[in-house]
């Protein structure tokens, strides 16, 4: 090549490099300019009082570590370990559940102590003679990625932050001497009980160990490594309160009292890595994620991780809506949680260790709740995680022989009804998420649907489930129908015609439970008669036929086929009359206490329980979308607030919040597996959804507390008459304008051709 050519090539490369650098800088500046601080709107305390059961503490999105305070257990509303009504702290634990109705986890408790260290827990009435402290909410700070509180008894300020697999503690003592840290492996929360625990001092700044326990997760194994910023001058080990000599010990309820002679700056910092595999992996997690001792730096990194996720949806609204929206979005990212180490290792459901997995393995799947709205939300906000969620399902299938029902820390809990991982996979596949073994996925769906447990043997024969043979027969059957519909849609997409026909028939079995005389879904006995006596209001005997509900609530659990349900009623008018009655009927059964799961009531409608979440949107299928709009605004005003009890029911790992996120933007996933979102009434004036490189903008024109009804719509500048939008519209980007008014429109969304698919 000639020198002249060399110069031309060099000049081109130089100019191109300058252009590339300039473009990168420009994009970085644009990204920073467009990125706003939404963490300031998040209040982690919302939903921590009442029945919300949310986790309060320090974590990062989808992190394995959820590091937070644990109160003295005072009943069901302490399932997460913390309730805002409490005024005690026993210590800080590294794993939690958020919004569940069953308690577990709260593993590996640390408590900084000054003075004498007690080995037994304090009580609500006496915190003097046991370990733990009273505290005041005035001295408590909780923000995304950070938590701090002052322990009154010990005069110690505790600060917490976290990475994905490491909890980071900062304890500031009132004095430089007489400082201790209690490590307690004995106690969890709720059903949890230790089986075997182990603690070993490696050197003057490092401790390792493990905790095996049984509870909701029947065989949970968690390993840890702890590194201290100050040397441990002495260690005392105990099994419960029995002393164990030496620097290591194994027992049922191991504890350790760590002494520190004189502290620099009156502070001790502790890094705690956790692992489902080994203490060595826990140490490697620390080295990879928090190799330094810069606590403030990790707080900033944790906050930045939250802000990155919160910026995926940018809204404009009033202050209350901003706070509830971003706190809700925050709550949707506690689970599923990471369940493998930085090197990819994880422990499977079969308790075998799988090394160097090429995907991020997840656990904590509350699928009976989350398939309805949370997972459809993830297809919009978490595209980078969808394939790994499916891969996690498939790994579980290969290890336990069926897809997960309610998976927790490598354990199948079999909690609640249905096989809803099927709906999640089908939804992901039909929306284009296919970076996994599709044939294996279909095999897993079909095999899971062909089990014989919980009435599925009757379903396979295309029969109804007899109410006198199987408990919760109606609840089971209606949930199975949703999953069977989902398999049918995937079978159709894969050209599996025979399977499509079979599972479509199964999906229609819900019709066998509809009593046309009473117009309720009812339990039917083996002899073909309806179960009697029958009271559609009763929830005392809900386990006979229903699941956390009554006939009024379960009659509508056909989100996959609303038009088929309308046909069962005989006409749209009869369907609408019954639907209206659901929201108006306030009668109760005399002498019957309503279950705390059935909460957030408007008539018989229960916003606090997930099988109800799609019901307000059913009006759109009968050409009356304005009734949906009115209900959405009423639910917002009554059941979502910025107070500690700002949730009307269990958060259930994000579903209660996912309903709000979608509904506040003006739409909801009634059918969880067909890519259709039914329009309602936007609570926000403007929302921008960032999906990969595209942005979908929703503008609510003239939106207000009185202008709650959609009058007309435009999509990309053209009239849009449909009362729904599609997933494709969102991910391709564009602009949807909804023109709002104070009176229902007589035309928008009314025609049959404009109603949801």
The CATH number linked to 134 is 2.70.98.10
Residue 552 near residue 569 (C-beta atoms within 8 A) = no
Indicate if the pLDDT at residue 6 is higher than 80.
no
Average pLDDT score over residue span 423-444: 98
Give the mean pLDDT of the chain. Answer: 94
Give the whole-angstrom CA distance, residue 55 versus residue 46: 10
Q: Indicate whether 161 belongs to any domain.
A: yes
**Tokens 């020198």 -> residue:** 3
Q: Does a structural domain hold residue 568?
A: yes
Length of the chain: 757
Tokens 């018989």 sit at which residue?
A: 604
CB 723 within 8 A of CB 625: yes
Domain membership flag for residue 310: no
How many other C-beta atoms are found inside a 10 Å radius of the C-beta of residue 14? 10
301 lies in the same domain as 341: no
Let me know: does 217 contact 408? Beta carbons within 8 Å. Answer: yes
Strands 156-162 and 166-172: what pairing?
antiparallel
State how beta strands 133-134 and 88-89 pair.
antiparallel
The pLDDT value recorded for residue 285 is 98
Please report the pLDDT score of residue 591 as a whole number: 73
| Best CA proximity match to 406, nearest among 441, 435, 439, 363 | 363
Please tell me the distance from the alpha carbon of residue 552 to that of residue 544, in angstroms, as a whole number.
15
| Residue 561 vs residues 484, 558, 605, 607: alpha-carbon distances, Å | 12, 6, 20, 21
b/e map 256-287, b = 16+ CB within 10 Å = bbbebeebeebbbbbbbbbbbbbbebbbbbbe
- For the entire predicted model, the pTM comes to 0.94
How far is the C-alpha of 314 from the C-alpha of 673, rounded, in Å? 25
Any bridge partners for residue 725, and if so which?
677
| Overall domain count for the chain | 3
28 pLDDT exceeds 60? no
DSSP 153-218: TTTEEEEEEE-SSEEEEEEE-SSSSSEEEEEE-S--STT-EEEEEEEEEEETTEEEEEEEEESSST
Note whether 258 and 397 are same-domain residues. Answer: no
Q: Which residue has the higher pLDDT, 12 or 568?
A: 568
- What confidence category does residue 107 fall into, taking pLDDT thresholds of 50, 70 and 90? very high
Name the residue with tokens 């003057």.
Answer: 204
Q: Are residues 357 and 269 both part of a single domain?
A: no
| Separation CA 756–CA 677 (nearest Å) | 8
Three-class DSSP category at 301 = helix
Residues 575 and 717 in one domain: yes
Residues 274, 157 share a domain: yes
Q: Which domain holds residue 168?
A: 41-305
Q: Is residue 745 part of a domain?
A: yes
82: pLDDT confidence band, cut at 50, 70 and 90?
very high
Same domain, 107 and 63: yes
Burial of 459 (0-12, 13-18, 19+ CB in 10 A): buried
Task: List, for residues 248-302, the tens digit of each pLDDT value.
Answer: 999 999 999 999 987 888 999 999 999 999 999 999 999 999 999 999 999 999 9
Find out whether 228 and 268 touch, Cβ atoms under 8 Å. yes
C-alpha Rg value of the chain to the nearest Å: 27
- Looking at 266, 285, 305, the residue that finishes a domain is 305
Phi-psi region of 206 (alpha: psi -120 to 50; beta: other; left: phi over 0): beta
**CA-to-CA separations, 283 to 275, 347, 492, in angstroms, rounded:** 9, 17, 48
- b/e sequence 657-680, b meaning 16+ C-beta within 10 Å: bbbbbbbbbbbbbbbbbbbbbbbb
Alpha-carbon distances of 430 from 139, 156, 194, 501, 531, rounded to whole Å: 49, 53, 43, 18, 39
In this prediction, residue 541 carries a pLDDT of 54
Domain CATH number, residue 360? 1.20.1050.60
The verdict on residue 10 lying in a domain is no
Ramachandran sector of residue 155 (left: φ over 0; alpha: ψ -120 to 50; beta: rest): left
pLDDT digits (tens, 9 = 90+) for 387-420: 999 999 999 999 999 999 999 999 999 999 999 9
C-alpha distances in Å from residue 643, one per residue of 13, 50, 319, 709: 59, 10, 13, 27
Phi, then psi, of 212 in degrees rounded to 5: -100, 135
pLDDT, one tens digit per residue, over 34-58 is 789 999 999 999 999 999 999 999 9
Q: Hey, is 103 helix, strand or coil?
A: coil
In-domain check, residue 121: yes
Q: Do 294 and 377 share a domain, yes or no?
A: no
Residue 298 lies in a domain: yes
Evaluate whether 269 touches 229 at the Cβ level (below 8 Å).
yes
pLDDT digits (tens, 9 = 90+) for 526-562: 999 999 999 999 875 556 899 999 999 999 999 999 9
| Region 308-330 average pLDDT | 98
CB atoms within 10 A of CB 614: 22
Establish if 473 belongs to a structural domain.
no
Residue 21 is predicted with a pLDDT of: 40
634 and 743: one domain?
yes
The phi and psi torsions of 101 (rounded to 5 degrees) equal -100, 5
Q: Report d(CA 365, CA 362) in Å as an integer.
A: 8
pLDDT at 12: 40
Q: Which two tokens stand for residue 1?
A: 């090549």
Pair (358, 241) in one structural domain:
no
Neighbours of 717 (CB within 10 A): 9
Q: In this predicted structure, what is the pLDDT of residue 379?
A: 98
CB 303 within 8 A of CB 35: no
Q: What is the pLDDT of residue 542?
A: 53
- Do 135 and 207 lie in one domain? The reply is yes
> Which residues are 208's β-sheet partners?
200, 225
CATH number assigned to the domain comprising residue 590: 3.30.2080.10
Please tell me whether residues 617 and 669 are part of one structural domain: yes
Q: Find the mean pLDDT for residues 634-653.
A: 97
Same domain, 295 and 177: yes
* Strand-strand pairing, 254-260 and 206-214: unpaired
For residue 546, give the nearest of 478, 458, 610, 645 by alpha carbon.
Answer: 478
pLDDT score for 24: 43
- The Cα 230–Cα 248 span in angstroms is 20
| Domain limit, last residue, from 263, 287, 305 | 305
Give the whole-angstrom CA distance, residue 128 versus residue 123: 9
Assigned token pair, 488: 């049918």
Contact 465, 459 (CB under 8 A): yes
pLDDT digits 0-9 by tens, 182-205 = 999 998 888 899 999 999 999 999
d(CA 215, CA 187): 12
Q: What is the pLDDT of residues 511-529, one digit of tens each?
A: 999 999 999 999 999 999 9
The backbone torsions φ and ψ at residue 431, rounded to the nearest 5 degrees and listed phi first, read: -95, 5
End-of-domain residue from the set 418, 451, 484: 451
Q: Is the pLDDT of residue 732 over 50?
A: yes
d(CA 632, CA 226): 48
- DSSP letter at 516? T
């Amino acid at each position: 090549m000639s020198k002249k050519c060399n110069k031309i090539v060099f000049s081109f490369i130089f100019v191109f490099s300058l252009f590339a650098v300039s473009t990168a800088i420009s994009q970085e500046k644009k990204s920073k300019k467009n990125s706003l601080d939404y963490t300031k709107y998040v209040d982690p305390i919302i939903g921590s009082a009442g029945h919300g059961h949310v986790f309060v503490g320090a974590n990062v999105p989808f992190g394995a570590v959820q590091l937070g305070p644990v109160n003295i257990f005072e009943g069901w509303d302490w399932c997460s370990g913390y309730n805002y009504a409490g005024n005690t702290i026993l210590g800080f634990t590294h794993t939690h559940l958020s919004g569940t109705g069953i308690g577990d986890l709260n593993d590996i408790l640390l408590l900084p102590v000054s003075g004498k260290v007690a080995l037994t827990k304090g009580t609500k009435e006496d915190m003097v003679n046991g370990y733990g402290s009273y505290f005041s909410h005035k001295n408590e700070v909780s923000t995304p990625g950070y938590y701090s509180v002052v322990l009154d008894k010990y005069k110690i300020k505790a600060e917490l932050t976290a990475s994905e697999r490491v909890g980071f503690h900062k304890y500031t003592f009132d004095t430089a001497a007489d400082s201790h840290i209690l490590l307690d492996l004995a106690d969890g929360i709720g059903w949890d009980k230790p089986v075997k625990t182990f603690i070993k001092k490696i050197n003057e700044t490092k401790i390792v160990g493990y905790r095996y326990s049984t509870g909701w997760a029947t065989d949970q194994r968690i390993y840890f490594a702890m590194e201290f910023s100050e040397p441990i001058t002495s260690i005392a080990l105990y099994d419960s309160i029995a002393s164990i000599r030496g620097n290591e010990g194994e027992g049922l309820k191991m504890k350790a009292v760590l002494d520190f002679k004189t502290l620099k700056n009156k502070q001790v910092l502790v890094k705690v890595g956790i692992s489902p595999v080994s203490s060595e992996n826990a140490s490697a997690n620390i080295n990879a994620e928090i190799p330094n001792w810069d606590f403030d730096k990790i707080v900033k990194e944790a906050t930045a991780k939250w802000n990155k996720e919160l910026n995926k949806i940018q809204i404009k609204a009033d202050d209350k809506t901003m706070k509830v929206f971003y706190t809700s979005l925050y709550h949707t990212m506690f689970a599923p949680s990471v369940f493998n180490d930085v090197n990819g290792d994880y422990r499977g459901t079969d308790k075998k260790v799988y090394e160097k997995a090429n995907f991020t393995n997840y656990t904590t799947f509350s699928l009976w709740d989350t398939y309805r709205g949370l997972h459809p939300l993830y297809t919009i906000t978490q595209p980078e995680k969808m394939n790994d969620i499916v891969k996690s399902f498939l790994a579980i299938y290969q290890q336990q022989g069926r897809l997960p029902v309610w998976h927790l820390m490598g354990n199948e809990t079999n909690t609640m009804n249905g096989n809803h991982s099927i709906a999640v996979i089908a939804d992901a596949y039909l929306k284009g998420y296919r970076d996994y073994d599709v044939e294996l996925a279909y095999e897993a769906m079909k095999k899971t649907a062909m089990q014989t447990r919980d009435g599925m043997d009757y379903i396979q024969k295309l029969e109804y489930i007899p109410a006198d043979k199987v408990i919760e027969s109606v609840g089971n059957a209606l949930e199975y129908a949703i999953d069977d519909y989902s398999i049918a849609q995937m079978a159709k997409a894969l050209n599996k015609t025979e399977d499509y026909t079979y599972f479509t028939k199964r999906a229609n079995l819900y019709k066998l439970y509809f009593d046309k005389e009473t117009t309720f879904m009812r339990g039917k006995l083996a002899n073909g008669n309806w179960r009697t006596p029958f009271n559609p209001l009763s929830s005392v005997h809900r386990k006979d036929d229903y699941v956390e509900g009554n006939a009024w609530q379960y009659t509508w659990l056909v989100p996959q086929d609303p038009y088929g349900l309308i046909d069962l009623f005989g006409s749209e008018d009869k369907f609408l009359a019954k639907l209206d009655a659901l929201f108006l009927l306030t009668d109760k059964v005399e002498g019957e206490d309503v279950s705390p799961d059935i909460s957030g009531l408007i008539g018989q409608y229960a916003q606090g329980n997930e099988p109800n979440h799609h019901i307000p949107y059913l009006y759109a299928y009968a050409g009356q979308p304005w009734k949906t709009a009115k209900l959405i605004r009423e639910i917002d005003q009554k059941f979502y607030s910025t107070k500690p009890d700002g949730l009307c029911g269990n958060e259930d790992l994000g579903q209660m919040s996912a309903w709000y996120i979608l509904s506040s933007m003006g739409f909801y996933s009634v059918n969880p597996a067909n890519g259709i979102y039914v329009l309602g009434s936007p609570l926000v004036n403007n929302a921008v959804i960032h999906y990969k490189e595209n942005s979908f903008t929703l503008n609510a024109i003239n939106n207000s507390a009185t202008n709650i009804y959609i009058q007309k719509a435009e999509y990309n500048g053209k009239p849009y008459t449909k009362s729904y939008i599609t997933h494709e519209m969102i991910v391709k980007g564009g602009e949807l304008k909804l023109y709002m008014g104070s009176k229902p429109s007589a035309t928008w969304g009314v025609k049959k051709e404009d109603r949801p698919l």
